[in-house]
């Protein structure tokens, strides 16, 4: 967990390569300090070439790399060496129904079709996360770690009238699978098995575990605390 490591983490330049307000809110909830620099990666991968887990991991990796490379280029041209990157976080989340990947609906009609599919059924929310940090030997070849998490979600049966009313709120339009677990659609869910925050858009508990290892936080924090005590 990160709570006892925040003092160390707050000294790092951390970037979230996503404009998602939900991911931003989740990371702010655990008191992480970071910048938001949305990736410009077009997310146009051919779904037929990937399993759902491979798909979200590759999207997350390419999003994070897009931002990392852009910021490294800026840093090289900058006189402000404090702008060096310590960590970039990329993430991608999709809904998977019967091996079909459902992303954000492009139209209200598509949103209604997605919700009709999910009605009275079980689906999986799948997130991929990429962590990137500089390689001391080469900034151009950073160290990358990826991981994924799946959460099972069961929907109650939804009537056509209920789906129409929900889509009219426009809540589905910026959310994978056409619904927001933390919003109005919470009333559709009869069961969830796994991480709630993963359904919202970011697997925060697993992220904390992976980040601790990725940045070697246990050793780094201990060394920093020891150094501070010696300076007192």
- Are the CB atoms for 144 and 61 separated by under 8 Å? yes
Domains of the chain: 3-230 (3.90.950.10)
Task: Give the pLDDT mean for 188-216.
Answer: 97
Give the pLDDT confidence of 116-165 residue by residue, as tens digits: 999 999 999 999 999 999 998 888 899 999 999 999 999 999 999 999 99
- Which residue(s) pair with 130 in the sheet? 90, 146
The pLDDT value given to residue 50: 96
The pLDDT value given to residue 100: 94
The pLDDT value given to residue 222: 57
The pLDDT value given to residue 212: 96
Question: What is the pTM for the complete model shown?
Answer: 0.90
Query: How many whole angstroms from its chain centre is CA 98?
Result: 23
Quick check: 225 pLDDT over 70?
Answer: no
Going by their DSSP bridges, the two strands 35-36 and 14-16 should be labelled as parallel
Quick check: 232 pLDDT over 60?
Answer: no
Give the pLDDT confidence of 53-79 residue by residue, as tens digits: 999 999 999 999 999 999 998 888 776
> Which positions are catalytic?
92
Quick check: 229 pLDDT over 60?
Answer: no
227: pLDDT confidence band, cut at 50, 70 and 90?
low
Quick check: 226 pLDDT over 80?
Answer: no
The pLDDT value given to residue 71: 92
Of the candidate ranges 80-94, 155-169, 216-230, the one whose mean pLDDT is the lowest: 216-230
Q: What dihedral angle (degrees, nearest 10) is formed by the CA atoms of 167, 173, 179, 184?
A: -60
Q: How far apart are CA 230 and CA 197, in angstroms?
A: 40
Q: What angle in degrees, to the nearest 10, is found between the helix axes of 108-118 and 160-168?
A: 140
What percent of the chain clears pLDDT 70, i.e. is strictly above it? Answer: 93
- Are the CB atoms for 207 and 174 separated by under 8 Å? no
């Amino acid at each position: 967990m990160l709570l006892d490591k925040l003092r160390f983490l707050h000294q790092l330049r951390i970037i979230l390569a996503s404009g998602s307000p939900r991911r931003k809110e989740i990371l702010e909830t655990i008191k992480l300090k970071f910048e938001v620099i949305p990736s410009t990666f077009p997310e146009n991968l051919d779904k037929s070439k990937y399993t759902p887990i491979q798909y979200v991991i590759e999207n997350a990796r390419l999003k994070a790399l897009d931002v990392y490379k852009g910021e490294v280029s800026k840093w090289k041209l900058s006189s402000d060496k404090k702008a060096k990157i310590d960590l970039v976080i990329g993430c991608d989340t999709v809904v998977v129904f019967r091996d079909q990947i459902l992303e954000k609906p492009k139209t209200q009609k598509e949103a209604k079709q997605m919700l009709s599919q999910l009605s009275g059924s079980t689906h999986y929310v799948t997130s991929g996360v990429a962590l990137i940090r500089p390689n001391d030997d080469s900034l151009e070849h950073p160290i990358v770690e990826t991981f994924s998490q799946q959460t099972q979600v069961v929907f109650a049966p939804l009537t056509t009238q209920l789906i129409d009313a929900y889509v009219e709120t426009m809540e589905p339009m910026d959310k994978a699978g056409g619904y927001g677990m933390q919003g109005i659609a919470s009333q559709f869910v009869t069961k969830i098995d796994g991480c709630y925050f993963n359904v919202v858009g970011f697997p925060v508990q697993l992220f904390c575990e992976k980040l601790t290892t990725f940045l070697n936080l246990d050793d780094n924090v201990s060394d920093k605390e020891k150094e501070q005590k010696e300076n007192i």
